[in-house]
Structure 1
């Protein structure tokens, strides 16, 4: 019994010793773990495609057990909606995020910077000027400005920055003595940002930044845009959209007027394909927008070959346009791009019709028959005596067509209704060169 107690006591002492030893060695073991830093570039225009790229990069950083994420920022801004999404993504992230401004963090770029845990800047870099503008550069509704100013203010306050300066970057009515006058947006250089507590430090390069953070020995992993993400960001750019749509419509128009072995048509359809594929990759275009475009295109082709009194064409144009607008990140981008493309192609269509209407597929839709006396056609300047005469249609009257009256072919027109081919007709009046007829039934 005594031996058993002695063994139990010895075991307990051994366990306590192991626990104490582990608690002593744990900090050493943790510090010996290789530190990992993920670097993600925030460049060019801020858009939804960038938001999706950052989401993927953050997932990779979590899988790689990163100690910090550095956002290397150099942008003149972009979409407010995309910036808000990115800001929320940064705020939710558990890994510390450092904004390193390498050049400019203007407009939406400044909001992304304020959302990060710390802000560092290269010498002579800038942050601020975050006024909201439309794609054409016009001022937006004051409610949108107020919303954006509030987002900037809250982001700065949450990270312990000067929220009044953040608001002054959006609202020109904010006046801060020594920093800005009323009517001016605040933009700070690196030295000013450090002076007023917006920046946490200045670093000449990435290596110097890592030293300031105590991460100079960390392994650096750069997350680059995939080819698909690069394509998506390119073709969804608001300034690229009108170009793609213009090329798409122009290719189809040229194919109609000028024979090109299908090359113009292929180029045009490829431009539309890039537009929809890029927006689909970026998560903007759903299958419904692509379906609307395809059905609209098919209806327009049907209108060319099977006349439907314009119904197929009108519905086709509406569906095609709807598909283009719905596929864009912002419907206004799609609408503006489509409007520009239609304007340019209207001019192109006029030029093509004037100089090339006798060539290409369009040539098949042009009436080439010539009316002359040798073929039995006569003028109608002395046809008043035809009133009351009977004849028969040799083509459908829609309402105009051709009829034979007393053995002679005449261009005639009905009273407005359609008359089938082979129908007996009667001349009811002659207005100048216009011979008006109506259906006539022969009674037995």
Structure 2
């Protein structure tokens, strides 16, 4: 077996191994690109070994093997992946015992909606608040809230609370009513929009 034939067979095996590695190792396609380059080198080596020398039958057998092995190995890797320990952890949803702490924390934070507390740190927009004696992570609605300011819990966002500063009066400030325009200040457009 000449060196080109040996290189064609070895690079074919390396390319197939890289295909399997691409399924099991998240690389963002880097391993697949390397496999593509290795397959191109393998086909070139096979052409040098068998295509140029007149043994076209061996070259066509090599191409047929490549066409059959490529999807077979890739399909086999995808078939085997969920049956491995790594694949089961990655593909299966978390079990109840894994979700229990998260569910308990979510329920505890949900019960605090509507309660009032005090900021322990400045919320810009994230920080710490004290609600019912517990120090909790919170964020404001995008507004800066200073330390030791009373806040009300509006919602729960993941493992944080969404809070709003409590105002002294619960009634919102009324909007000022615009005064009607004097006759000399009116324009023709004012008539079109129903101002009188």
* TM tier relative to shorter chain: 0.3 to 0.5
Greater RCO (Cα-Cα under 8 Å, separation 6 or more): 2
TM-score by length of structure 2 reads 0.33
Who wins on radius of gyration, i.e. which is larger?
1
TM-score by length of structure 1 reads 0.18
